[in-house]
A and B are shown apart, each in its own frame.
Chain A
Amino acid sequence: MLRIKPLTALITLVALFSTPTLVAAADSLTITNGDTVVELQSEDVAALQQTSFETSTIWTEGTINFSGPSLKSVLELADITDGVGTLTALNDYAIKIAVEDITENAPIVAYLMNDEPFSRREKGPYWVVFPYDSDTKYQQEEIYAVSIWQLVSVKKDIKESKHQ
């Protein structure tokens, strides 16, 4: 489920608190693993190993070619290889995901649609996308819930907490 709450993206290099903060700077992605905080700009994202596929989504019309690094590779930047991560959107929508459920190729953190960067108004700049058309297993409630757009941060949960 996508939830969007009014929230501003804030670019911080080091965040001591895990609570989302309104930030003025746009288009950055923060990965947090305990004390390790990695902040990615769009060029950092572009530098990562790219995966792309064509698919339709239930939120758009027609098929779109999505490109971007895999979520897995993005998490690995902050050494997140297990446990549970929380993905947060610009509107404070947050969703938990078990890291072990993340595969090599799906989902990706798309930052190109049809080879073009896309704006906030078009659910950019980062959108967690699965190749929905390729398999019915990607046409499930849980998958849709994880397909978070206007992604601003990923953070590994310190405590093995259960779902909110």
Chain B
Amino acid sequence: MRTRLRKRRSRIRSLSAMTLLTLLVVAFFTLLIGGRALKTQIDRLAVTSSDNLGWNISQVDVDFKSFAANLLEPMTPRSAGGTEITPAEFSKIQVSFDIFYSRVSVIGATLVRIGSTVSASDDYQVVLARRDELASIIDSMTEPTTAEIQSIFDLVALTEPTIRLLTTRGIQSLSEAQTDVREQQYKTFLSFHASSFIILGFVLLSCLLAFRLWRDLEERSRNIELAATNVTNAFEAAHSAVIFTDVDGMIIQCNQAATKYFGSEDEDILGADFVHDLLDSTSISEFMLYRGSPGTHTIRLLARSLEYNPVSIEMSGVWTKDVEGFDTYIIYLTDISEQLAAEEKLKASRDEAKEASNAKSRFLATMSHEMRTPLHGLIASLDMIHSGKLTQADQKLFKTALECSNRALEQVTSILDHTRLTQVQETAQPFALRTLLEGIQTVLTPLATANKNTLDMSFLGNSVDARYIGLPEAFSRVMYNLLGNAIKFTENGAVSVDMIATKGSTSQTRFLTFIVSDQGIGIAKEDQKRVFESFEKAKFNEEDSNSGSGLGLAIVTQSLKQMNSEIHMTSRLGKGSTFKFTLELELATEDESSEPAVIQNDIEEWTVPSSPQGPVLIVDDNQINRTVLNEMVSRLGFKTDCVSMGTEAVEAANKTHYSLILMDVNMPGMDGYEATRAIRDGSGKSAETIILGVTALIPSDRDHSTESGMNAMLAKNLTADRLARAVNKYIVQTEVPAGDNLEQFMDPAIAKELKKQSLVDVRNAINMLSDKSSSWDDRSATAHYAVGSTGVVGFTKLSQILIEAEQAAKLSDQAALDVCVAELVKIMPK
């Protein structure tokens, strides 16, 4: 708007100036032409009026009378010669006639010149004729007589009226001509007057325009001055230094800020060389480079004031041309010394905070890890207590203690998972999701059974069995947590997992959708968002024994994020919840590693070299672990050696042939991997022995374990039951008579009682397994219980068959179960 107005005003201004110019030019020419016309006119008048024509004409009469007088003179009696004509008198007559004669010629010419008609009139012709007549008469005379003079005089007298008439008419005609001239003069003056008025008008108009222009210019210059003042003020008041340099870098102008930054008390920086006087030598090349290549970014340099104080600056610059067209480089810079200091401080505090956060995570991880060891010991110890001997009330307490310790371990584990999650990045690898899921199902089924739930899985789509490249650990975490929650919060219900494979966005990928549904208590709408956050739990009954660490869904969210996915939840309070997520995974090609998936709570399956029976070496730096493991392994009927350090383990392995080495992975000094490597690399007696790593962190240790030469890893939540399974799996045991070894490390009475109880458990199991009316879950649970019981007292064969039976029960495989039962019955001592 303002711009348009300004444009219009500028147009008006130039129009005014043009008009002014035109008016002045017109006025000038009008004046010039008018003046010239006037001058010409006046000149013309001056020429015509330059002779007194009137007088000239009237003089004819005078000359004529003079001639007449000269004629009369000799005829008067008083004359010199009386009435005779003397030669002198005749001469006078001749002269006066000649004067008259020439006078007539003159007025003839005059009359012609002024254009008078009188010259053509009869009077003039008559006068002319009489003059010529008189001339011829006079010229013919030599000695005139009085009579002759008298005759001339008569002729003259006859001519006199005509002369007078001519004179009168001539003067009249002349005055008419002069009147014409005057009128013309008057007209000329009038037109000059008029044009003068016009010119005056023009001049007045011009003055007006000039005044307007002047006022306009005044305003403009005031505005310009105002703008210039503003610019100067802004320039001077700017916090940033502004420096103008010429091509050579000499400072030609700068503002107060620049002087403040760089000047000294008795010297300002005008005329200084910006590059060499003000820049630190380390910054010159960077500045030159920056100045040479135009850009809009800023650079940070180190400058020095004239007093050599260092100034950290952030600057930008721009090339421009000054009014005279010289190249000028304008530098804008800010003193960032304080800012830099603040940044440093900020960085330091950020690092500190990060470090603190890391420390916290490390602390949490360490705490959790350290807490797991005693918990493992506690659980293992409880596991080994034969509850059958307890009173009814004690059994209830014992059960509570077992549950509590299990829950505590679970929580510690999930905290550990969570803290590790934020620190460790898993690498993608091929794995079979279905196999993994089924493994999880196997592991969680007992838990589901305990809550009287079913755990079912269904697989839809062609590619559900394929192997995919993904993050098995993250996926396991997600499923364990989702299913763990589903089972925990559902009682007498069904928990199901649906895996649906559909086409992916390319031929090499598939969309895999997982739906985990339960019929549990559900989550209130207001809690639905919150439950995905760390350490948040839905507001369940405070007394609810199922409350967990509050990390489950946060772990799920985090883990899914690692797989570029997210969880969707629908839940209705009291009806149950459904969690859904979709992964897009790439199909693994056939030749890629076909290693089995890692299942956290199970044992990896490798081929087992046959090995003759021998003692078991237990390596663990932790006293409790050593004791518990020692107890467990002993109960399985093995002799044991216990060492607490990697080096001791290597030494022992070299000397003794062990049938199995249980190697703790994390030990101070030589750790489990190193020890394993040393054993494998050496040619000791146990170089070929099965070595099972024992660790709390199976998945991330996997690569290490295989590389180091461990046969498999056992997760550290090691119960007698799981240890028994592992040992059974890896060591082809010669049949050890039941109970043979138990007495060696146990009070024989107790051992006997344990064995008796164990056999009772087996019988109960056989009964339950044979009872086709009982549920599969009940059967598998009974078998499971018996597995532990037999394993602990050393009935390894029984234990092994019971494991198979449990498996069969889980799979609802009646035929396989029948085979197992038959075998059990066959082996059972009567």
- Interface of chain B residues 107 through 136 with chain A (CB within 8 A): 108-110, 112-113, 135
Cα distance A139–B47 in the bound complex, in angstroms: 6
Given known pairs A4-B59, A59-B110, A144-B50, the reply for A120 and B70 (CB within 8 Å) is no
The proximity string for A residues 123-164 relative to B, scoring 1 for CB distances below 8 Å and 0 otherwise, is 100000000000010011100100001100000000000000
Residue numbers in A under 8 Å from B106 (CB-CB): 2, 59-60, 123
For B96-114 the 0/1 string (1 means CB < 8 A from A) is: 1011011101101110110
* Residues A58 and B52 in contact, CB atoms below 8 Å apart: no
Interface of B is mostly: helix
Q: How far is the CA of A7 from the CA of B87 in the complex (A)?
A: 15
Question: Distance (Å) between the CB of B741 and the closest chain A CB?
Answer: 162
- Assess whether B47 is in contact with A59, with CB atoms less than 8 Å apart: no
Chain A residue at minimal CB-CB distance from B107:
A59
By the criterion CB–CB under 8 Å, are A121 and B101 in contact?
yes
Asked if A120 and B98 sit within 8 Å, CB to CB, the answer is yes
What A residues does B99 contact at CB under 8 A?
4-6, 90-91, 120, 150
**Which of A6, A121, A123, A140 is the most central at the interface, judged by chain B CB atoms within 10 Å of its CB?**
A6
CA distance A5 to B70 in the complex (A): 12
Residues of chain B lying within 8 A (CB to CB) of residue A59: 106, 109-110
Let me know if B92 and A8 touch, CB within 8 A: yes
Residues of B in contact with A, size category: 20 to 34
Give the total of A residues in contact with B, Cβ under 8 Å: 29
Asked whether any CB of chain A lies closer than 8 Å to the CB of B95, the reply is yes
Whole-angstrom distance between the alpha carbons of A60 and B51 in the complex?
A: 13
B91 to chain A: which residues have CB within 8 Å? 8, 24
A119 to B139, CA, bound (A): 13
Please, which residue of chain B has its CB at the minimum distance from the CB of A4? B99
List chain B residues, Cβ under 8 A from A98.
none
B346 interface contact, C-beta 8 A:
no
Q: Hey, which chain A residues are within 8 Å of B56, CB to CB?
A: 2
B60 to chain A minimum Cβ distance, whole angstroms, is 10
Q: Which residues of the partner chain B approach A60 to less than 8 Å between Cβ atoms?
A: 105-106, 109
- List which A19-64 residues lie within 8 A (CB) of chain B: 22, 24, 58-61
Closest to A122 in B: B102
Q: Are B46 and A140 in contact (CB under 8 A)?
A: yes
Q: Enumerate chain A residues within 8 angstroms of B110, measured Cβ to Cβ.
A: 58-59
Contact indicator B98/A121 (Cβ below 8 Å): yes
Q: Which of A3, A90, A136, A141 is within 8 Å of B95, CB to CB?
A: A90
Contacts of A16 in B (CB 8 A): none
Output the nearest chain A residue to B70 by Cβ-Cβ distance. A6
| Chain A: CB-nearest residue to B49 | A141
- Pair B59/A3 contact, Cβ less than 8 Å: yes
Task: Jot down 14 A-B pairs with beta carbons below 8 A, ordered by A.
Answer: A1-B52, A2-B56, A2-B106, A5-B99, A6-B67, A9-B95, A22-B92, A58-B51, A61-B109, A90-B95, A120-B101, A121-B98, A123-B105, A136-B47
Given A59-B110, A119-B98, 9 extra CB contacts under 8 A: A4-B59, A6-B67, A24-B91, A59-B109, A61-B113, A120-B95, A122-B102, A136-B43, A136-B47
Binding site for A on B (CB under 8 A): 43, 46-47, 50-52, 55-56, 59, 63, 66-67, 69-70, 87-88, 91-92, 95-96, 98-99, 101-103, 105-106, 108-110, 112-113, 135
